[in-house]
Structure 1
Amino acid sequence: MSHTAHIPSHRKPRRGASKTAIRSGVAGGVLSTMALAGAAAPAHAEPVTETIEMPTLTSALAGGVAQSAAATQRVAVDLELGAQEDAAAAHAAKVAKRAKAEAERKAEAKKKAEAARAKAAAEERASRSEERTTLSASSDSTGTTQATGSAAAVLAFARAQVGDAYVLGSNGPDSWDCSSLVQAAYRQIGVDLPRTSQPQSTSGTPVSLDNLQPGDILYWGGAGSAYHVAIYSGGGKFIGAQNSGTGVVEKTLDWDPPSGAIRLL
């Protein structure tokens, strides 16, 4: 037995291999955790400056951009033209509407005016017809119808020429032929008749010899080819420049019966 066997050893007892491995793992884990924490902490990190270069436009890309801009401009122009066309169409429609309304107003006014004239003419004809009826029923002591109005003026002139000479082609004032006397008598009321008997015989409305009224024009021969004319004075008589032997006379229809008659009044 050694002389030192009874002396306790100062050397620490040897640890087992398993305990050593465990401690090594723990230490490694601690170190890893610290490393990760240091990497994540931004407290003392240096700022990073990075320069980013933009890509340069290629010629193809620039052309595409230009085409897109041109297309956009064309669309804008088309929209502007469309708006102008719409505005022009709306204005034209308003003008047409106003023109139509004005035309309709004028047509209506013309229609009313024509209706008023027709009514006035009808009333005038009715008045004249009534006047003629009254004249036909009214006679003086000699049996001669007393004419009034336009018929009276015509007959007054014609009667004032009774006794004047008959001269073919003469126009008065002291000698007449048949048609010049009729023309002059009607001129007193503003009626301008043709100069000769042929056209005078068709210048009015044909009437029956059984329905004569003062102022009617009598003719001898055919209508349009008459060779003589005179004026019916009422009461079955007429006034006319008959011939060179009688001059201007007032005679009964029986003395020289006419062929027909026309009415102007």
Structure 2
Amino acid sequence: MSHTAHIPSHRKPRQRASKSALRAGVAGGFLSTIAVAGAAGPAQAEPVTQTIEMPTIASNFSAAAAASAQATQQIALDMENQADQDAAAEKAAKAAKKAHAEAVRKDEAKKKAEAAAKKAKAEAEAKERAERASRSTERTTLSASTGSSGSSSSGSTSSGSSASTPSSSSNLSGSAASIVAFAKAQVGDAYVSGGTGPNAWDCSGLVQAAYRTAGIDLPRVSQAQSTYGTQVSLDNLQPGDILYWGGAGSAYHVAIYVGGGQFVGAQNSSTGTVQRSMDYDRPTGAVRVL
């Protein structure tokens, strides 16, 4: 035995023959392939003559996005228009409701006014009928009393007991009674400036018409009436005397004294024709025509 036999060897073990052969075969095949490809490459290569177009995905996507945005904008616009239409319809409905309520209120007010006017007219007509009836009664009573007075005067004259009494005395009494009765019968008539009857008077128009019933034609205006006749004291009045307010010849109002401290006159548009006490509006003076 060698003296180095016990020392281990540092050489690598030999690889198996199969593995070496396999590696040699793979390397040889690879090199062969490269050699073949290198030899055949230049002879078999052909130039590319056809261009392959790729689909225009990006442009189609842009068009679709634009169409979608336009559709969204149109939908938003339609919704906005619809909202405006709904708001307008609601506003119109509220206005129509308000107008209807106002029309109903006006109609009710009109009906109430018509009812009130109708009632007032009926009351006025009833009052006028009552006044006419009263006037008719007064005229009838006056006619009866005048007739009795005339009969008494005729009987006294025929008996000769008062033959010296002038016949004008009975005529004077009858004229005054006629004037007073006519004036009283017009109480309640309206006052109208320039009115001469039969249902509307001014102050001098009423006095003139009353005296006309006794066959006396007075001047038309109060200034002339205040000087037509004899001036008399207010303490010595007789029924039928003409009362005046203002100066004689410049009077602005006239009326008829009807006895008992009362007068009848067409006063103004507020009161119409009235019978009042002389204390209500003291006259300035008086004239006696009868």
Q: TM-score, normalised by structure 2?
A: 0.42
Which structure has greater helix proportion?
2
Q: TM-score, normalised by structure 1?
A: 0.46
